[in-house]
Amino acid sequence: MVLAGPNSNQTHTCSPGRTVRSPECCKWFHILDDIQANLLENECGPESHESLRIIFHDAIGFSKTGLFNGSFAGGGADGSIMINADVELNYIAEENAGLDEMIYEQRDFAVKHSVSFGDFIHFAGAVGVSNCMGGPRLQFLAGRANISRPAPDYMIPAPFHSADQIFARMEDAGFSPEEVAQLMAAHSVGAQHLIDPTVNNAPLDSTPEDFDAQFFVETLLEGTEPVGNGTALGERSSPIPGEFRLQSDIVLARDIRSACEWQSFITDQDAMIEKFQRVMAKLSTLGQDTDKLTDCSEVIPVPSRVNRLATLPPGKSRGDVQAACSATPFPAIPTTPGPVTSLPPVRHKYPHH
């Protein structure tokens, strides 16, 4: 895929210290300041996590064939989850459960600044993940139309799906098993909402405010007990107290089609970031003609770097690792010293989540 380039090499000054290559991008600096102060709070918190999640849920309503179960397959990264929220947030599959508050709050900002819902979704997600230590600086292209049809139900892979089901749905949208593993880096700053209401906001790895490779280590550890009651569909036993484990993460980490890509990120965070940037650029332009969009990536903040290497959590050893890549041995990584402790839930401003 060829990413859209800037409109010209000329620089336009938006305000002191802020320049862009297209004057159309200047308005996004005003939006950036507003959402950082009043939506995302300049931090890698739940609002940033949810904004990144919304990108996927908006864009994955797409099929290379244009059809899903014989009907319209959705327009991809077009803002339909916000434009048609009354439809997509109430589907039987419930894969969009927990997104309603953030989507409606984001919609108010999009209306306030007179930008399309599709553009705002993909801008807010890129800004949100830039707040995370070590995070990627995602591409942001503006110019999506504010017109869409609802994406159909059952297009979003579920946490209880098998690897075959996930890969089939993602291949239909144009993604390989390796690219699926690359997209899962988003879970390094994730938490679960509503899968198991008894432990809402339980993080998916031990460093939920850092965009790092720790997630790819911990998903390969043998589970010992569930964080919640263990009966929720899609929940599996976790290796760390307080950490939630998705069945989908377990199967993708151990499937022969994605296991080596998964394991490779443990010792190469730079590759993890680079590949995540590339696959997110693909995801966020599904269904769009990039020649008609404007590259406003300069507006996205540059994330702070993190140099911490992935480790085995306290109390864990190589014997707890369920390595699944037959081509490459599991890398030798250190164990973090200290006692085993339970992870706190991720803070969330919506109390019923």
CB 99 within 8 A of CB 53: yes
**Strand ranges, E, within the chain:** 12-15, 18-20, 67-68, 71-72, 141-142, 235-236, 245-246, 294-295
Identify the DSSP state of 41: T
CA 332 – CA 253 distance, rounded (Å) = 18
Token pair 């102060």 in the structure block, residue: 37
How far is the first Cα of the chain from the last one, in angstroms, to the nearest whole number?
Answer: 38
Q: Is 57 a catalytic residue?
A: yes
CB 218 within 8 A of CB 200: no
CA 224 – CA 201 distance, rounded (Å) = 20
Contacts of 344 (CB under 8 A, 6+ apart): 242
Marked catalytic residue, from 49, 57, 187, 193: 57
Contacts of 159 (CB under 8 A, 6+ apart): 195, 233, 234, 235, 246, 247, 248
- Count of CB atoms situated within 10 Å of the CB of 29: 17
Q: At what angle do helices 117-130 and 26-38 cross, to 10 degrees?
A: 60
Token pair 């504010």 in the structure block, residue: 146
Which stretches within 228-286 are classed as H helix? 247-254, 259-264, 269-283
CA 88 – CA 329 distance, rounded (Å) = 43
At 180, phi and psi to the nearest 5? -60, -45
CB 294 within 8 A of CB 24: yes
CB 263 within 8 A of CB 220: yes
Considering Cα of 146, then 101, then 45, then 94, what sign does the dihedral take?
negative
Residues acting as catalytic residues: 57
